[in-house]
Structure 1
């Protein structure tokens, strides 16, 4: 695996580095093409030091074998001595004494609509593959008590990199992506720099779509420095000229702009007189920040 604390030079950030040159990867790091050692399959009695180790192990085992896992349930031993079930995909193991991990294709989809021909697509195949781990107080560790390895669907380890569980953009890689974005590097070329770094597109731990989604989210939620200040200055100037001018905006906790609304005095007066029917068009325009512009349109007695 390639750690994310590698020191990148300017050539790597621009994507101009020769993939055959050795300085693109630290010498103390394994090459991207190094063969990883397969994990030992789970078996009853296998022990782990912590709750997190159980999840980490089965997560990596699923990646190597071509399936995704989920936390099926967590249980803690209540005061009455009975297990209280918590069917959740989150939480820590501080109060957990029994853990069930299953394949994401577990269960059967039940269509509740009226038209069976329009049933939603599902990947559930009633797969029974799972492991159950219990906390052993005597050993102060976790032990596997149930193991089912057989899946009822094909497994293809080569497709693991396309599965959502195993696509991850580390903070370091996010910083590189956003640095290239600020430099005006196209997303396709931005993603290609990681193919150079990892030794091929197949070795990159995330897809180009993930890269595109990250950049789009940043553009949508964070205006460039000075853009919002200039817009707010313009709105204040408009309100000084028109006493009925109105505007309001919302920001996130980090101060980035979420949305903004404004209406001139003439428009507000027209709405009071002819506001019986108005239309909204959220597909009118999208700018580089991926923020839709939604005009509110009405018609007066002059059909204007």
Structure 2
């Protein structure tokens, strides 16, 4: 009795849900003799009926002629058939939907070419629930509107979980969605495959060829082995090549980034623009890190940049790279990344009983020496104090001191860059776009997306520099001169020099043949609370005006130091000669590269642009028609009529797509995807680790975690 009552209540609930789902639409029960024009029409009808009643539908049997014409087919309840368990442990069977349900319809081909239902079984051996029908995978479908939204959000870098949640919110809840997250995931995977084409070397070659057809200034070079397997790749877009004309005087190059499925190091040629922002000047993927590979890469890059080598280049401390640069860029000043050298101190001296003292002493030698002579004195004193004359690493560092010690490289313009942190910062920038399983084709596509974002950041900085001003902090006319010429970022640096007047003491030492000699005593911070008094010499020629300071900041950064500015203001100098206001920092120069687009791969966005144009026209129309039921019904009716005039196109227009057909024997041999690259360096050694080094590593890890947490809280 209780069971009968419970069934009746459920039956009432199903009726209410049935009304709610079905709305005004009624689905006629299948009967023998019902006629349809095609197999698709029969299938669509039974799917609607199944969803209305609350059971899944699957195709059971089909019979075709030799010419492919369907003579007979069966559509049945998804819970039909019997499941055969294949698990080894019969005491732990897997769940199954099969339970032998006989509900089905059979349809046969009639003489008119249509189909007629020949057999109908309506009874199910299980309960049907219309309220749960949306969970059947047979009824889940991603329509055109949802598909377009998914693709747009995916290209914007929105991960799938948030992408799906936005659709749920728009639909008004999960119960109103005709699809699930798995369906969205499958669609995105398929869309990416269609968007990216074939993977590996073939896709990469096709992509580059197509980009070069779109713009002849796009440059790429591919290196393969005897088996036509991809070894090295280099490419640079047209905009990067023109950017090099303005900011190619100093570049950094780093190879420590692994971001693709083949573990090929991703290296960037990076410069700095007039805002102090990192700019891309070329990219490469290489399979080896020996001198010959680097030489091939640098030669390719030099050819790309019209055989104009950079004035200065910063790399990590790599012997193979050093050899290649000496061969390809003999006139360029080469410098090692200071950060890469200093980070090796725990590894080299972590087990030493006086590690803390040695580290502090080396830091003072490197950062607190303002001349080569001062550095040499401090270095020799350190070797004597700690008996490190036989340390091979320190011996090699000292022999290469002209490649990395700040006091030894201050006579060269480095645009304010002292390490490969520009490359590393750009690598972090790409973290939003690529990951360890990224294919080669995805890699270059995501590079293009990241490049557009970088260009937009520069455009915003240009806008701010032209439309806003930072007020002057002094009454000196020369500050206004810098204010009107420099970008905001560089003017801030000038103001920082003016604030430094507080720590300066100047004294005129005399004048000889029109050259004034000044001694400037500066209090420089060398620690958290320590100040070091350092003396600098400033020379001033008045006709024509020429200034030099022993700190060589202008030669190094392209910004006049506070010692020079203090002396000029003390002498009553109101203007600065134009040679001390570098064009590369100016905001009032229209540079050639700003007229060049950052991307030329418009294949994937042409459809989106047309779609947006049509959608924008519908926005106002839908808004007005939704205010009244009569207008809503009329508009829907008119749209249904328009659908017949614009049917779906199965094969998209391929006039702008990349040709990914396999090469024939008469064509160029197809490039094979690269082998997975083995990481550079030997396996980690099994040496004993001193407790001091362990504690240092623990403390550094804690600091890093603390900094990461601080960044998260900040943002």
TM-score range relative to shorter protein? 0.5 to 0.7
Residues 55-204 of structure 1: pairs in structure 2 closer than 5 A: 55-76=43-64, 94-137=68-111, 139-185=112-158, 187-204=160-177
1:63–1:166 CA contact under 8 A, matched in 2: yes
* Cα distance, 1:230–1:216 mapped onto 2, change above 3 Å: farther
**1:81-118: per-residue Cα shift (whole Å, max 9, x none)?**
xxxxxxxxxxxx95111111111211111224443113
Q: Determine which of 235, 243, 246 is the counterpart of 2:286.
A: 235
Segments of 5+ residues of structure 1 without an aligned counterpart are: 1-31, 79-92, 244-248, 271-304
In structure 2, the CA distance between the partners of 1:72 and 1:219, relative to structure 1 (3 Å rule), is closer
Distance in 2, matches of 1:188 and 1:266, equals 36
Structure with the larger strand share: 1
Output the CA distance in 1 between the equivalents of 2:678 and 2:87.
Answer: 46
**Displacement of 1:215 after TM fit?**
4.9
Greater shift in the superposed pair: 128-137 or 49-58: 49-58
Asked if 1:54 is matched to 2:28, the reply is no
SS in 2 for 1:59: helix
Structure with larger Rg: 2
Question: Distance in 2 between the 1:197 and 1:230 partners?
Answer: 42
On the 8 A contact 2:289/2:680 being kept in 1, the answer is no
State how far apart, in whole Å, the 1-side matches of 2:89 and 2:35 are.
49
Distance 1:136 1:202 in 2: 40
> Which residue number corresponds to residue 30 of structure 2?
42
Rounded to whole Å, the distance in 2 between the matches of 1:98 and 1:167 is 26
Show the counterpart of 2:710. Answer: none
Structure 2 unpaired stretches of 5+: 1-19, 200-206, 208-234, 236-258, 267-282, 295-438, 443-657, 661-672, 684-715
Q: CA deviation at 1:197?
A: 3.9
Normalised by the length of structure 1, the TM-score is: 0.57
CA RMSD of the aligned region, Å? Answer: 4.2
| Contact map agreement 1:33 1:199 (CA 8 A) in 2 | no
Aligned length, in residue pairs: 215
Aligned mates of 1:264, 1:76 — CA distance in 2: 53
Whole-angstrom distance in 2 between the partners of 1:251 and 1:205 = 33
What's the offset of the Cα at 1:119? 2.6
In structure 2, the CA distance between the partners of 1:177 and 1:230, relative to structure 1 (3 Å rule), is farther
Structure-2-length-normalised TM-score = 0.26
Higher helix share: 2
SS of 2:63's partner is strand
CA contact (8 A) 2:134 2:140 kept: yes
Give the Cα–Cα distance (whole angstroms) in 2 for the partners of residues 208 and 77 of structure 1: 39
Contact 1:73 1:99 in 2 (8 A): yes
